[in-house]
Structure 1
Amino acid sequence: MSNEPQIDPYKSLSAFFAYELRRAREAEGLSQNDLAAEIHTTRACVCAYETCARRPDREFAQDADKRLNTEDRLQIIHHHARKEHGSQWLMEFLEHEKEATSVKIYQSKAIHAFLQTEAYAMAMIAAGHPKDLNAAVAARLARQELLTREEPQAPYVWILMDQSVLLHMVGGVEVMRAQLVHLLKAGEFPKVTVQIVPFSAGAHWGMNGEFTILGLDEGDIAYTEAQIGGRLIYDPAEVQELGVRYDQIRAKALSEDASRKLINKTMGFFDEVCVAKEQPQRRRGELVC
């Protein structure tokens, strides 16, 4: 009797793949060692795939289908599992992020984790009511280590943000002003580029959602954001399409210098808000946050 955890096939398509792989292997009377030897992999890999600890590639699904007489069933499940959204993708993405040689980010709702102050991160994460707020904040800030690595380990980072990100009142006026100061300082890092997509840019691909493209030695991958869970994208064609969209968004962004000027101007707006809060009335047409 195996001591490995039982996989719930209803949890996700990835879990269904793991469940079907194990079911088909056992139906053929094969151990994990047997299957590994016959399709030229390792028992550790088979075990990881059957417990959802790791995700197999398409070649493994093809080889497993042939040996386990499952026609194309594992390949079909694998194909759709790679396209599903789920919270488990984020943890896998964060592991890849540590090895990235380049990072291209588009943000439309909030300052990216790489550039958040502790106070801003605290306010963002607290809104989700985590069980351990301090641990969650520490984990987010730890990702910023990527930016401060010594050369040549530090990756090139390009961050595009909609102008609205600068105006979302996360944590209050003082937190936002300090966050914008930090944003300007981060933009001075030698391998970090921060550009703002202004309201005047009009419609662009970024309005369809946030995404990140990681440059890795073995090839680029991407991650798209969504409620509850995102999607990690390995398919080269999809990653290439997102790369084109990123370039098209960047073509509508302000230059680095113009972006810095807009950030400074926004800081002035928050200063005005502080003054306005002390006044009983605001002039008609004045922006209220």
Structure 2
Amino acid sequence: MSAADEIDPMSSLYAWLAFDLRFYRQKRGLTGTRVGEIINCVRSHVANLEAGRACIDMNQAKALDQAWDTGGHFERLLHFARCLHNPDWFRQSVEYEVKAKILRIYQGQTIPVPLQTEDYARAVLSLARVADVEKALMERMKAQLQRLLELGERPSVSIRVIARSAGWHFGLNGPFQIMSLERKDVAYIGAFRGGRLAQDAAEVREMAVDFELIGAKASSEGESRALIEQLMEGFGC
């Protein structure tokens, strides 16, 4: 049994999209190669779409609707799939993060996950009470700030801080990260009690522009390092 055979269209709107792509293709007696010609991709990617490992973008949805005269079925389904929360999004985003060649992360509330120390991550995830809160906080933050300085020395890592004096910027809308894979970019948009995975190329490009605009407000790498060192001094380092 293939992955496409195991797709349950009742589990989510994205699963429904994958199921219907295969259903409509088979109903018309088309090959994956032919569908790839309609939506401008290779046959192997069509197989990934039908297996739920990837999702069509809006241009592809419109192309299918036009070619198969569906009355806008795929476009509407994709629209509502994007509007609703999918509990599988976070798991998928973690898988993409591991495979990504480049990660661009903006986070305004906590240290980005890939840069967190174990103690800091445990504190973020846990609501457990600590007897000496202030002392525990200082020790944890000293270690975390030191970790940022160490990571910032790596040629493949760039850490930049946005000072409060920078004023309004697009990052105030919430955290997000863009993951550059071998053949495409995807993004994960964080939110309270969950987030959303963005795979539409046009939407991800817009987020990449937002990331650049946020970067224009950020301090340079050297200035950011100096700010982190100042914070460490405040913690008695």
Q: Is the 8 A contact 2:35 2:46 kept in 1?
A: no
Q: Deviations over 1:94-127 (max 9, x none)?
A: 2222332322111111111111111111222224
- AA aligned to 2:164 is F
43 and 212 in structure 1: CA distance in 2 versus 1, 3 angstrom threshold: closer
Where structure 2 has 5 or more consecutive residues not aligned to the other structure, the ranges are 37-42, 129-133
196 and 228 in structure 1: CA distance in 2 versus 1, 3 angstrom threshold: same
In the TM superposition, structure 1's runs of 4+ consecutive aligned residues that sit over 4 Å from their partners are: 18-26, 34-48, 60-67
Aligned residue for 2:154, secondary structure, equals coil
The equivalent residue for 2:205 is 240
| 2:186 matches 1:185 | no
The equivalent residue for 1:150 is none
| 2:46 matches 1:81 | no
- AA aligned to 2:178 is I
Percent of residue pairs identical: 35
| TM-score, normalised relative to structure 1 | 0.62
**Greater Cα radius of gyration, structure 1 or 2:** 1
> Given the alignment, which residue of 133, 137, 141 partners 1:176?
141
227 and 8 in structure 1: CA distance in 2 versus 1, 3 angstrom threshold: farther
| 2:218 matches 1:253 | yes
Select the structure that is richer in helix: 2
240 and 64 in structure 1: CA distance in 2 versus 1, 3 angstrom threshold: closer
- AA aligned to 2:54 is R
> Given the alignment, which residue of 204, 210, 213 partners 2:175?
210
The equivalent residue for 2:116 is 116
- AA aligned to 1:106 is Y
Quote how far apart the aligned CAs of 1:253 are. Answer: 1.4
Quote how far apart the aligned CAs of 1:17 are. Answer: 3.0
The residue correspondences of 1:3-42 to structure 2 (distance < 5 A) are 7=8, 9=10, 12-18=12-18, 36=31, 39-40=34-35
Output the aligned Cα RMSD: 3.6
Quote how far apart the aligned CAs of 1:264 are. Answer: 1.5
The residue correspondences of 1:55-134 to structure 2 (distance < 5 A) are 55-58=54-57, 59=60, 62-63=63-64, 70-82=70-82, 84-127=84-127
Q: Is the 8 A contact 1:36 1:46 kept in 2?
A: no
**Partners of 2:220 and 2:74 in 1: how far apart?**
48
The equivalent residue for 2:131 is none
**Partners of 2:183 and 2:88 in 1: how far apart?**
22
**Partners of 1:35 and 1:228 in 2: how far apart?**
41
Q: Is the 8 A contact 2:18 2:52 kept in 1?
A: no
**Partners of 1:234 and 1:83 in 2: how far apart?**
13
Where structure 1 has 5 or more consecutive residues not aligned to the other structure, the ranges are 129-168, 273-289
| 2:230 matches 1:271 | no
Aligned residue for 1:223, secondary structure, equals strand
208 and 47 in structure 1: CA distance in 2 versus 1, 3 angstrom threshold: closer
**Partners of 1:54 and 1:237 in 2: how far apart?**
19
Quote how far apart the aligned CAs of 1:46 are. Answer: 6.3
Quote how far apart the aligned CAs of 1:207 are. Answer: 0.4
Q: Deviations over 1:138-172 (max 9, x none)?
A: xxxxxxxxxxxxxxxxxxxxxxxxxxxxxxx8x62
